[in-house]
Amino acid sequence: MSGPILRVEGLHKSFGEREVLRGIGLEVAAGEVVVVIGPSGCGKSTLLRCLNHLETPTRGRIWLRGELLGMREKDGRLVPRPEPEVDRQRTHIGMVFQRLNLFPHMTALGNVIEAPMRVKGLSRTQAEERGLRLLERVGLLDRKDEYPARLSGGQQQRVAIARALAMEPEVMLFDEPTSALDPELADEVLQVMQALAREGMTMVVVTHEMEFARAVAHRVLVLEAGVILEQGPPSLIFTRPSQPRTREFLRKVLHLRADENP
């Protein structure tokens, strides 16, 4: 197919008086991995939540494969789509959150197969076949019958990734999926994400894991106060950022000494 999978134009989002996103324009191509970085409170989560319409933009448009998300044209005007249609659109966008949010009363496999059965109408056999394949892919086939409480945080996030993949999304959104985890557990999640990226999954990832960004991102997007400060390949952003404020932010998160780049 031609054209971007995701296209964002003039995206604004306010909470009351506070304008959190102030005109975001963005295109994400098939197979592209975009990592979003920026200081706390700059709007990273809000951007992701707008991308799958968990938040309704105050202004602006988002297209998924050329289809307007959350809105449609009617008599030459844009009107909100009915909720079931938005739900259908959302099934094409997988999301993994910072907080661990598996269903506690379901096993790992149960968590993975729930949506494909409920939303996509797969039979239990079909869903289990898919679920087992995905649990194997995230390295957890042997834990398929465990309940979340008996899984580590890293394992829970890997189940969450399998659960999102079970809907066969076209794009995966990750909102700081490792920030609640110890480094060792974070690593196992990042490895699964890296493998996904290598297999060609289109991904938008909010993370403070700069090593991951360096190794996996095709593009790093620096967000500040609700606008894109700059963007480019990690080789450029991490060594020769054009904006002093990007440099300042990176120095802080990378704990660099005064004589080190950037």
Ligand X SMILES: Nc1ncnc2c1ncn2[C@@H]1O[C@H](COP(=O)(O)OP(=O)(O)OP(=O)(O)O)[C@@H](O)[C@H]1O
Sheet holding 202-206, edge to edge: 93-96, 171-175, 202-206, 33-37, 219-224, 227-232
Nearer Cβ to ligand X, position 45 or 178?
Answer: 45
Residue-level length of the chain: 262
Shortest distance in whole angstroms from residue 127 CB to ligand X: 33
Nearer Cβ to ligand X, position 112 or 249?
Answer: 249
List the one residue out of 209, 219, 212 whose CA is nearest residue 254.
Answer: 209
Shortest distance in whole angstroms from residue 15 CB to ligand X: 3
What is the DSSP track for 156-223?
Answer: HHHHHHHHHHTT--SEEEEESTTTTS-HHHHHHHHHHHHHHHHTT-EEEEE-S-HHHHHHH-SEEEEE
Binding mask 26-55 for ligand X (x = CB under 6 A): ------------x-xxxxxxx---------
Sign of torsion, CA 116 121 124 129?
A: negative
Nearer Cβ to ligand X, position 20 or 165?
Answer: 20
Task: Classify residue 148 by its DSSP letter.
Answer: G
Nearer Cβ to ligand X, position 97 or 238?
Answer: 97
Nearer Cβ to ligand X, position 192 or 223?
Answer: 223
Does 20 contact ligand X by CB under 6 A?
yes
Shortest distance in whole angstroms from residue 48 CB to ligand X: 8
Shortest distance in whole angstroms from residue 204 CB to ligand X: 13
The site that binds ligand X (CB under 6 A) totals a number of residues, namely 10
What is the DSSP track for 99-125?
Answer: S----TTS-HHHHHHHHHHHTT---HH
Are 167 and 122 within 8 A, CB to CB?
Answer: no
Shortest distance in whole angstroms from residue 7 CB to ligand X: 20
* Residues numbered 158-187 forming contacts with ligand X, rule: CB under 6 A: none
Q: What are φ and ψ of residue 88, in 5° steps? A: -60, -45
Shortest distance in whole angstroms from residue 6 CB to ligand X: 18
Nearer Cβ to ligand X, position 42 or 229?
Answer: 42
Binding site for ligand X (CB under 6 A): 15, 20, 38, 40-46
